[in-house]
Structure 1
Amino acid sequence: MGILMTVNSVNLNSKKDFIINRLYENLPKKPYCTSDFFGLKIRDKKQAIRHSHIQINHPNFKRYIVIDADYPGAATAWRYDFDDNIPVPNLIVVNPENTHCHFYYELEAPVSFTESSSKRAQEFYNSVSKKLTEVLKGDSKYVGLIAKNPAHEKWIVEVPRLEKYSLHELVEHLELKPHEYRNINSEKPGIEKFVINGRNDHLFNEIRHQAYIDIRSYRSKTFVEWFDHVKSLLINANKNFSVPLPYSEVCATAKSIAKYCWKKDSYCFQEFCERQHIKAKKGGRAKSDKYVEMRRTAARLLRSGKTKTYISELLQVSYRSVLRWLQGIKVQAAIMHLSELKKICDNAQNQILACFIASLIVIILDEHIYDLNESEELKITIKFKLKVPIQ
């Protein structure tokens, strides 16, 4: 497949080469591209420029206005059949088989389309694009994600104008009134307007609103059932395209919608959290039971004088696990036997003394108390010699 330009060597003798190289410099680093419409690809622009259709504008800003004139003779109609005041396109990319074409208008300054950008500037761009589509009798449903690539040999390319436009200059040519490019989004208050970028976005925006309603009927069901429902909606809608999306892309869109609705619906999400909590408790309990015998073995080894490092290597567990198993075990043993010790004390004073004795026992016995449990008895006789001063 031949390319009408080489990126590394720009031939300035040709207006076409000059403006196409300028367009190449303005392309996104990894634009969408295709040559067959069986699925868009994302490629480095050195590879993308070899495809017949390519993404012209950057995702976050737009430097070009592209009009899709989808009717025979479009390439010459703007000169002879329309108003004389129509702004001259910078590029006209013509399909020689049917004489349909894309009109390119290049802007001096790109218009930012991020969430934090000026909404008025975006409305200004959209209104000019809408008016150009109207006067050139372009396709109003064309969303501009990809366009005919002027660097591809498949098309005939004309360059009527090299100079870039400002939006205000285009407004003067189109004789737009201020109310036509201000508050463009207020035509239908309360109805959300969105830009649909290709078939994926069309499916997403068509089905998601239905999903917001349908989720209520799946509150007592599982996520798998809900996902299958959303996927079936998308599969049916995908059949309406002349070139349907691949099954993998339909599934990816279904998963995105299903997960969002499931998480945002408080009832479904709460049930999901409760099920996860129950599963986690079961799993944690089973995992804990698995190490009971190992913890007892670790205690016995420690009582016999083995080091914690030796125990971790012998049991093939981490040193941190051994520390965690044996942490506080002396205190637990003392508390376990403290209640029995209190019972044999005859008054409150002796019960206070019993607490002291229990702590003392833990210190004295040290490692030998590690393996005590409820089934074992600890018998200790302690004798005190008290010297009482004679009155």
Structure 2
Amino acid sequence: MNNAALELFNDRLPHKPYFSDDLHFGVRIAGKERAILAKYIQFNQPHAMFWLGFDVDRIGAAIDWSDRNAPAPTLTITNPENGHAHLLYALETSIRTAPDGKMKPLRYAAAVENALRKKLSADAGYSGLICKNPNHSHWKIAVWQPELYTLDWLADSLNLNAANDKEIVADYGLGRNCTLFDKTRKWAYRAIRQGWPEYDQWLQACYDRAHAYNLQFSIPLNDKETMGIAKSIAKWVKEKFSKEDFNFYVQKTHSKEIQSLRGRKSRGGGRPIDPLSLEQSKPWLDLGISRATYYRRAK
């Protein structure tokens, strides 16, 4: 195997990866020095994805990507007994999967990942947590593309027409992170108003809700990822939403004058609300929502 590719793989391993020598007995966690000796190993960081990994369960998996007009994997790790393989694509810039990362690039990465999975006809049930360890002598290793990929480079050979279709990416790979974050935060914006709980109680409520949503996935995220998403949402909403801010918002948007204008507008009379005062005070910033969302709710 190309030494540079193996060195790259090892450098990008987590400090304490999950590993297994026999998947029938599950996975364990240990320092990199121990885990690197195992047959299977966690290949991405907990909150940073340096590799797009795919599980292809068919004979010839390590070579038939070319027949499907898929981009060449960085490396393939093949089981010599049945020809099944893990295909790994090394990324030039890691994808931040922590919930404090920006969602737009994460959604784009999820669309690329899903489109590539479809092109490879890879297993949709693959969790992406561990892969065959290229350091282990049991597997057959091949390096196909020494250059690191950008998402745009991968996207050039893929069909991303369905990138905005949430149903396609919602339950696979990075799509789970996007879906869990979106569903939990939307719930949190409303739930925080129910008694304005103390932080510890609020964090537990956010985790319970995220955990329930996570269990709806065919392959759930691990508990650390779920807690990370819940903690990020709990902290952000707690900082941005308060009883005082909400009361101020209600006063700004539900005064007698505004309610009267809304009533006239709903009956087909009067003019639309003059937003000048709202444009000056910008209450949507205090609420942590966009200007468009604010006006949509006001209507």
Partner letter of residue 63 of structure 1?
A: F
Cα contact 1:123–1:185 (8 A) shared by 2: no
Per-residue deviation, residues 362-388 of structure 1 (Å, max 9, x unmatched):
xxxxxxxxxxxxxxxxxxxxxxxxxxx
Alignment of 1:95-244 (within 5 A): 95-174=79-158, 176-177=159-160, 179-181=161-163, 183-185=164-166, 194=176
Bigger-Rg structure (1/2): 1
Aligned sequence identity (%):
31
The one of 60, 65, 69 aligned to 2:47: 60
1:51 aligns with 2:38: yes
Amino acid at match of 2:162: E
- Is the contact between residue 110 and residue 169 of structure 2 (CA under 8 Å) also seen in structure 1? no
Change (3 A) 1:187 1:94: closer
Q: Which residue of 2 aligns with 1:77?
A: 64
**SS of residue in 1 equivalent to 2:88:** strand
Alignment check: 8 A CA contact 2:53 2:87 kept: yes
The separation in 1 between residues aligned to 2:68 and 2:52, in whole angstroms, is: 19
Does residue 29 (structure 1) correspond to residue 15 (structure 2)? The answer is yes
SS at match of 2:64: helix
Residue 129 of structure 1: CA displacement? 1.2
Tell me how far apart the structure 2 counterparts of residues 142 and 173 of structure 1 sit (CA, whole Å): 22
The corresponding residue for 2:26 is 39
Q: Any unmatched runs of 5+ in structure 2?
A: 178-214, 216-222, 228-299
Tell me, in whole angstroms, the C-alpha distance in 2 between the residues paired with 1:126 and 1:188: 7
TM-score, normalization: structure 1? 0.42
Alignment TM-score, normalising by the size of structure 2: 0.55
**Preserved contact between residue 57 and residue 85 of structure 2 (Cα < 8 Å):** yes
Q: SS at the partner of 1:74?
A: coil
Deviations 1:166-196 (A, max 9, x none): 000000021x34x533x3536699xxx745x
Question: What is the identity, as a one-letter code, of the residue corresponding to 2:101?
Answer: S
Name the amino acid aligned to 2:6: I
Partner of 1:93: 77
How many residues matched? Answer: 179
Shift in Å at residue 88 of structure 1?
Answer: 0.8
Task: Quote the Cα distance in structure 2 between the aligned partners of 1:29 and 1:54.
Answer: 12
Cα deviations by residue, 1:225-257 (Å, 9 ceiling, x for unpaired): xxxxxxxxxxxx9xxxxxxxxxxxxxx9xxx9x
* Larger helix share, 1 or 2: 1
SS in 2 for 1:76: coil
Assess, with a 3 A threshold, how the Cα gap between structure 1 residues 187 and 165 changes in structure 2: closer, same or farther. Answer: closer
SS of residue paired to 2:90: strand
Take 1:21 and 1:116, find their aligned partners in 2: how far apart are those partners?
Answer: 29
Give me the CA root mean square deviation. Answer: 2.9
Q: Which amino acid aligns with 1:51?
A: A
Cα distance between partner residues in 2 of 1:108 and 1:29: 20
Give the Cα separation in 2 of the matches to 1:188 and 1:70: 21
Distance in 2 (CA, whole Å) between partners of 1:54 and 1:26 is: 12
Pairing of 1:219-368 with structure 2 (within 5 A): none
Is the partner of 2:144 in helix, strand or coil? coil
| Structure 1 gap segments, 5+ residues each | 1-14, 196-236, 238-251, 257-391
Task: Kindly provide the CA deviation profile for residues 83-112 of structure 1, in whole angstroms up to 9, marking residues without a partner as x.
Answer: 3xx211100101000000011100000011
CA distance in 1: counterparts of 2:122 and 2:169, whole angstroms: 23
- Distance, in Å, in 2 between the alignment partners of 1:90 and 1:66 is 10
Counterpart of 1:78 in 2: which secondary structure?
A: coil
C-alpha change, 1:120 and 1:158, in structure 2 (3 Å) is: same
Does the aligned pair in 1 maintain the 2:42–2:131 contact within 8 Å? yes
Change in Cα spacing, 1:186 to 1:142, as seen in structure 2 (3 Å) is closer
1:123, 1:184 within 8 Å by CA — same for their partners in 2? no
Higher relative contact order at CA 8 Å, sep ≥6: structure 1 or structure 2?
A: 2
Separation of aligned partners in 1, 2:131 and 2:154: 21
Q: CA contact under 8 A between 1:66 and 1:144: conserved in structure 2?
A: yes
How far, CA to CA, are the matches of 1:140 and 1:187 in structure 2?
11
Structure 1 equivalent of residue 198 of structure 2: none
Distance (Å, rounded) in 1 between the aligned partners of 2:100 and 2:166: 17
